[in-house]
Structure 1
Amino acid sequence: MSLLEAILQKKQRLRSSETLVTLPSGQIYRETLLDGITTVSLVQNVSSPGYVVDTKPDFSVSHILTHLCMGSQDVVQDQALLLQHKITHVLSIGVPAVGLVAEFETLFIEALDLPETDLIPVLEKSIAFIDHARDVQGRVFVHCNAGVSRSASVIIGYLIKEGMSFIHAYQYLKERRKVVNPNEGFISQLKKYEATLKKQNPI
């Protein structure tokens, strides 16, 4: 058997593979490898910036715990409102707070509102920042774009870390901010996060 024949025979034994690729824009492509040839096709053409679109101003501040509040990015545009609610720290998930005065301690964490976004590093940084604010008797305002998915996931993760179950944390938050609705990928990761904490701290 010649080298060329061996290569062709081996190539014929290669299994085809298929991969879905989601871009930050929300477009989903299918990459298919068959007989050594990769083809790309558009599966879903959604004009999405990777977060829940904020269609109208929302200046509501939802108080979750003594040291913890949440809402939309609109709130951080009104510094008088932040001061009115005794906010000292601002945690921005995926959407940076612009123009805040120096008296606010801020942290920006990059995160797209997509199911495949790795939520765990976001949670770890967020929880450390929230705990820091609590330790200095501060109050944190957590926001993303609309205060629906990313910031809600961070709050739920924090409540789980504080000892609540996922279900309890979700219901507790929903009672205080009815519009919260983490994407399915975040919900799955939060449930796994709860399971991991239970293994680390068995009762």
Structure 2
Amino acid sequence: MDVSMDGPSTSTAASSSAPPSHTHYSAPLDEVFYTSYPVVQDVPVGQPIEDWKYEMRREAQLILPNLYLGPFQTSKQFDVLKSFGVTHIVCIRDKQEAFLVKPRFPEHFVYLTLDISDHEDQNLIRIFPQTRNFIDDAIAHGGTVFVHCNGGISLGPSVVVGYVMAKRQTTYEEALKWVQSRRYCISPNQGFMYQLKEYEPIYRATLSAEAAALAASSNPTPSPATNSTRRKRAGDEDSDEDEDPSANGNAMMSDDPEPTNGGAEWSHKPERRMQRVDQR
């Protein structure tokens, strides 16, 4: 898999191309609203498209706030991309399509280009973390992302379904219904469908691991070396407290004479006094 952030520089002559006469938006550009669609509750997105028309497959649709999905035709329409507020583009293509499906305006948008095949044996799961991080980072910085492949039917939708699964913590069936309600023409190949089903326990385990790591970083556990140092310091303090403070004081205040025997060791033996006890 060949992954690059920027594609080859191309002419921007396409920027002057006018948008199509009929561009269908899932929601007005200046507003998004809460929908009662039952798959994911209370997500501010455009309402599901009930009256789908064939020509809409050549246009982009809003899937989640700041996340569009569509075909490569939209990737060539500079004015349309700017009207969507797009700042980042995920360009997914087969290597054989590189001459056609490619970054068109690298000087205006940040691209993530993924060379993968629309085959059932193509490993799709391994690119999910990369696309998720790219989309999350873009949206976190106030950007809007457009995901596209060639026709916007299998590759691009599969990546977006995987993103919706992890972002909204839903099953692959629910995420697929959610995306398809916005872009009715999507049809991931059978191999991608199996992988999306397998991805569900993977992303849930990943989220659990991330939560555990975050909890551990906020409440760090002292290392064995730190515990040993603390126990040693506590033991030293206990030894200091147990020592008789009067011993040093008596030694310092002693009036015993200095040794005068030419350097020989001097020792003092206390005088013993005997008392007579009268026994009657």
TM-score between the two structures when normalised by the length of structure 2: 0.50
Match of 1:179 in 2: 185
Q: Match for residue 99 of structure 1? A: 104
Indicate which of 111, 133, 154 corresponds to 1:128.
133
| Count, aligned residues | 148
Unaligned stretches of 5+ residues in structure 1: 1-55
| Deviation digits for residues 166-202 of structure 1 (CA, Å, limit 9, x no counterpart) | 1110000110000001001111011101022234456
Give the secondary structure class of the aligned counterpart of 2:90.
strand
Distance 1:166 1:107, change over 3 A: same
Q: Rg bigger for which structure? A: 2
Percent identity (aligned): 29
1:112 aligns to 2:117 (yes or no): yes
Kept in 2: contact 1:58–1:74 (CA 8 A):
no
**Aligned equivalent of 1:20:** none
Residue 102 of structure 1, CA deviation: 1.2
Segments of structure 2 that go 5 or more residues without pairing to the other structure are 1-54, 209-280
Structure 2 counterpart of 1:78: 77
Secondary structure of 1:182's aligned partner: coil
AA aligned opposite 1:75: T
Aligned 1:1-203 pairs, distance under 5 A: 58-94=57-93, 96-162=101-167, 163-201=169-207
- One-letter amino acid of the counterpart of residue 160, structure 2: I
Alpha-carbon distance in 1 for matches of 2:68, 2:127: 17
Partner of 1:46: none
Root mean square deviation of aligned Cα: 2.0
How big is the shift at 1:153? 0.5
> Is the 2:57–2:185 contact (alpha carbons within 8 Å) kept by the matching residues of 1?
no
| Cα 1:169–1:79 shift into 2, 3 Å | same
